[in-house]
Amino acid sequence: MALLDSDVWAKKFFSDGWRDASGEQPVVEPATGEQLATAGLATAEDVRRASARAAEAQRDWAATSPQRRAAVLRRAGELLAEHAAEIEDWLVREAGSVRAKAAFEARLAVGECFECAGLPTHPQGEVLTSEDARWSLSRRRPAGVVSVIAPFNFPLVLGLRSVAPALALGNAVLLKPDPRTAVSGGVVIARVFEEAGLPAGVLHLLPGDGSVGRAVVEAPEVRVVSFTGSTPVGRAIGEQAGRLLKRAHLELGGNNALVVLPGADVPKAASAGAFGSYLHQGQICMTTGRHIVHESLLEEYTAALAAKAAALPVGDPAREDVALGPIIDRRQLERVHGIVTDSVAAGATLAAGGEIVGACYRATVLSGLTTDMPAWREEIFGPVAPVIGFSTLEEAARIVNDCEYGLSVGILGDVGTAMKLADRIDSGKVHINEQTVGDEPNAPFGGVKASGTGSRFGGTAANVEAFTETQWVTVRPDIADYPF
């Protein structure tokens, strides 16, 4: 049987096994509008029952040996690798990924599980000095029940990068994927861990609307909320979690800058810029949303980038060899086009693209912008590359920092100059002689300012910090004498 046979999960959610759902939603292929299957939707009441069950199951899971938890994570990674072709097909058809992006995401997911398999046996505490005649130490303990709310764009890996470390460290998880990618961002994860031998009740898959999102934050058993998504929704979740005294780890939006320094190799820079802006139709929080180019290269770079954009084919990635697939839905497609047309109306020049093609949007280049135009100020989440010039390093730093976001910055050109610029900018990530899109399971990931609450994903230190609590423990050889 295939891992994702719809007879197992159609019209169901996962909570102590696959349960019939009271609500349903079609799984739609964005490129064609075709219905691929029917997903089950959970309710707020389902969340309440699941969170209580998760708290119960978590105690036994936390007491499971580290070696056993590591084995489950390793087996999950093996299953992801064994069923990669099937998973990639769903990423193409449900999420609108081109084949190369789907394969990349599937590989990242495998790496995430293997990386997290090392967490259960990683040192989780330290010995402290003490003024008294006792042993003093701190240890990390599982937080308890973790809610994971994941987006549509990289649905598998952006859900798994919280689910896998949380499970590895002894937590139970409530997973709420985006309903538009309920299979590739939810069913895949539930099925993989089910087949990997994760005990019942430890992981719950709860697709649903905003009421389900609120419920997975408000459930009293939940101690940590891990959210990846838009900044407005992240603010609301942060406020909700703060009121309830819960930790919220928020990985939010970005309007990321690529700086092209004087003397940079223009053909290579334009290639990097095109990849940064157009991978997965620009629907990535790390997408290159602002191209900041030295005035000596501005005209040449803009022309080279426009030529790249014009040559990129768009279409249905399940049936054609294309570079850009569909935008996730019609509402987002029209939003992207609206930002482009509003910026052109305000005086920007359309150097390439700017056209809706079915469910797709052509790779677009805008020049002649000012920094107050919508295409420069807003996170577009579409395949649009706005280009602007700079004259001095100080001006480049000012333009980079003049943004509410601070997730990722790429700097292309002389390394020494790039290092000087990197010291002047506010960003969770800086890539010298690379574009802005990059992620590895062992690397810390997160942003500053409106991009989130810092690095709480990736790497041992970030994961342990995110999904455990610190406990201070002291031990004396006998009962101390007290003055009472």
Domains within the chain, CATH numbers bracketed: 6-252+452-473 (3.40.605.10), 256-432 (3.40.309.10)
395: its two tokens: 């001006």
113, 116, 285, 360: the active-site residue:
285
**Do 54 and 202 touch, CB atoms closer than 8 A?**
yes
Tens-digit pLDDT string for the chain (484 aa): 689 999 999 999 999 999 999 999 999 999 999 999 999 999 999 999 999 999 999 999 999 999 999 999 999 999 999 999 999 999 999 999 999 999 999 999 999 999 999 999 999 999 999 988 899 999 999 999 999 999 999 999 999 999 999 999 999 999 999 999 999 999 999 999 999 999 999 999 999 999 999 999 999 999 999 999 999 999 999 999 999 999 999 999 999 999 999 999 999 999 999 999 999 999 999 999 999 999 999 999 999 999 999 999 999 999 999 999 999 999 999 999 999 999 999 999 999 999 999 999 999 999 999 999 999 999 999 999 999 999 999 999 999 999 999 999 999 999 999 999 999 999 999 999 999 999 898 998 999 999 998 767 888 999 999 999 999 999 999 999 999 9
**Do 406 and 430 touch, CB atoms closer than 8 A?**
no
* Alpha-carbon torsion angle 16, 19, 22, 23, nearest 10: 90
Q: Can you tell me the distance from the alpha carbon of 434 to that of 405, in angstroms, rounded to the nearest whole number?
A: 19
294 burial type by CB count under 10 A (0-12 exposed, 13-18 middle, 19+ buried) = buried
* Angle at which helices 84-95 and 99-116 cross, to 10°: 130
Q: Can you tell me the distance from the alpha carbon of 185 to that of 199, in angstroms, rounded to the nearest whole number?
A: 20
Q: Can you tell me the distance from the alpha carbon of 57 to that of 139, in angstroms, rounded to the nearest whole number?
A: 22
Q: Can you tell me the distance from the alpha carbon of 410 to that of 431, in angstroms, rounded to the nearest whole number?
A: 5
Strand partners for 117: none
251, 360, 378, 403: the active-site residue:
251
Catalytic residue at 251? Answer: yes
Q: How far is CA 233 from the centre of its chain?
A: 14
Q: Can you tell me the distance from the alpha carbon of 17 to that of 465, in angstroms, rounded to the nearest whole number?
A: 30
Nearest to 296 by CA among 257, 347, 260: 260
Q: If you compute the radius of gyration of the chain from its CA atoms, what whole number of angstroms results?
A: 24
Q: Can you tell me the distance from the alpha carbon of 430 to that of 324, in angstroms, rounded to the nearest whole number?
A: 26
Catalytic residue at 34? Answer: no
